[in-house]
Structure 1
Amino acid sequence: MEPYGPETYGELNADVYDEWHDLDPTDAVRFLGELIEDGPAGPVLELAVGTGRVTIPLAARGVDLHGVDASEAMVARMRAKPGGGRIPVTIGDMADVAPDTDARFAMVFVVFSTFFFLMTQDEQVRCFANAARRLLPGGRFVLECPMPDVGRYQRGQRVEAHHVGLDHVRLTAVRHDPVEQRLSGHHVLISDQGIRLAPAFMRYAWPAELDLMARLAGLELRGRWGGWRREPFRGEGDYVTVYEKPETPAAS
């Protein structure tokens, strides 16, 4: 697995990321926009801004948006898109949240399971703590998460075909470590041009574990839904969690 750092995923996947993850950002942008209107006034920060799938349309609504990403290649893709060049982005580890500024934010958010690219519990706890420190009173920390589905892995592994065409096949091959709660995998593209590997390593966490990280950081659970349309959370699939920084610190 070495060397695999915060920038590795983006540096090795930037040129195919939008093609392989063609997700409609409309519902996420609407949800986040409503949350911004309901919260304190101030700038908004996206962790792991990537190619700007959510960042660019949210900024187009007039949001004072900033980003952090470890991958220069991903950010270059964003800046090449209309509107992407106007969004200030810091190159750095998202666990540091905002390493180049003392600014405080009305909202910090991270979408599409990217929070779990922080590979240890310590890094995830550190991200929560830094997000809480950067939030204004009443500010929100928003995460889009996949519900862990460990039953998918037989003998600690899984191979799945995502696309089969006449001239190519795209697979994922994943190993599961239940002790470290870690998924170590590759997207595998087999075509007449050869074989391409795109690694993706994650450390998943259960909702209750995330709630504890939030509590340690001084954040409170505001709500959890089964998606950006505020569907009821039923403990499966992708879900959205919102934590809030109290207006006044809790008594010790």
Structure 2
Amino acid sequence: MINQQQLWDDEAASKYDTPGEGMFSGDVLAPTVEVLSELAHSGPAVEFAVGTGRVAIPLSEAGVQVSGIELSHAMISRLREKVGEDRIPVVQGDMTVASAGRNFSLVFLVFNTIANLLTQDEQVGCFRNAARHLAPGGCFVVELWVPQLRSLAPGHSGTVEVSQPGYLLIDTYNVLTQHVISHHVTFGPELADGRNAQIGRTPHRYIWPSELDLMARLAGFELESRWADWDRSPFTAESRSHVSVYRLTS
């Protein structure tokens, strides 16, 4: 099993930010911050797996008091190059058990990161930890992809998710354990280290939306809203991802 602390090391942290592009683009971040600001209702928020501050920093700039929990020392160090502890305090630890405090209005976990927890028990533990952080009636927001098992050809266990100049993303599935390994292949005439190609692998445990809802109920939440994206577009059978808002009821 791949160790998450080793996976999100100094090299990964140094390459994580892509200012103005991809998931760091304004088109992605603006609706994300808008939704989270509204759900916080002027109260404090905590981001599980805060990373380098991709969402936490603009959310803080929008006036929300933001704290974070993050496992990777390297990702926290990268965040600290941008903002200080006084602005976005971060607890280093596992988001299934680490505590950033109590009585938050909002807990959020974005960009598929709950799938970095590789067992069902850990994923349920994440929901229960979110509940411990929230004030009564608070929200837990999860952004997650929908497993693309319909893309698997008969007799095959892998799919090509991205194919573009210089980059391939290939996902391989174990449908018994619900594990996915994402194989990131970067190639070109010659990379910086003299090789023609590099491959990195990231492990995940995929979760069906209905399974996610059951995890939420075990922790005292009810599903309030589910959208296909942060623009609140309808979630349908063809949606490849979702943003789910859970309300703490107990």
Q: For structure 1, which runs of at least 5 residues remain unmatched after alignment?
A: none
Residue 183 (structure 1) aligned with residue 180 (structure 2): yes
Deviates more, 1:26-35 or 1:10-19: 10-19
1:34 is matched with 38
1:153 is matched with 152
- Aligned partners of 2:147, 2:88: CA distance in 1, in Å? 33
Q: For structure 2, which runs of at least 5 residues remain unmatched after alignment?
A: none
TM-score, length of structure 2 as denominator length: 0.86
Query: Residues 150 and 144 from structure 1, CA distance in 2 versus in 1: closer, same or farther, beyond 3 angstroms?
Result: same
Structure 1 moving runs of 4+ over 6 Å: none
- Shift of the alpha carbon at 1:27? 0.8
The DSSP-based 3-state class of the residue aligned with 1:94 is coil
Taking the TM superposition and a 5 Å limit, the aligned residue runs for 1:202-241 are 202-235=204-237, 236-241=239-244
2:113 is matched with 114
- Shift of the alpha carbon at 1:63? 1.2
Query: Residues 242 and 123 from structure 1, CA distance in 2 versus in 1: closer, same or farther, beyond 3 angstroms?
Result: same
Residue 65 (structure 1) aligned with residue 62 (structure 2): no
The DSSP-based 3-state class of the residue aligned with 1:129 is helix
The DSSP-based 3-state class of the residue aligned with 2:22 is coil
Amino acid corresponding to residue 150 of structure 2 in structure 1: G
Equivalent residues, number: 235
- Aligned partners of 1:245, 1:131: CA distance in 2, in Å? 9
Residue 22 (structure 1) aligned with residue 22 (structure 2): yes
Amino acid corresponding to residue 32 of structure 1 in structure 2: L
Taking the TM superposition and a 5 Å limit, the aligned residue runs for 1:22-171 are 22-23=22-23, 24-37=28-41, 42-81=43-82, 83=83, 86-96=87-97, 99-154=98-153, 155-164=156-165, 169-171=166-168
Question: How much is the aligned-residue C-alpha RMSD, in angstroms?
Answer: 2.0
The DSSP-based 3-state class of the residue aligned with 1:174 is strand
- Shift of the alpha carbon at 1:84? 5.9
| Percent identity of paired positions between Structure 1 and Structure 2 | 41
Query: Residues 25 and 102 from structure 1, CA distance in 2 versus in 1: closer, same or farther, beyond 3 angstroms?
Result: closer
- Shift of the alpha carbon at 1:17? 2.1
- Aligned partners of 2:14, 2:151: CA distance in 1, in Å? 29
Q: Is the 8 A contact 1:172 1:188 kept in 2?
A: yes
The DSSP-based 3-state class of the residue aligned with 2:17 is helix
Deviates more, 1:107-116 or 1:83-92: 83-92
TM-score, length of structure 1 as denominator length: 0.86
Amino acid corresponding to residue 181 of structure 2 in structure 1: S
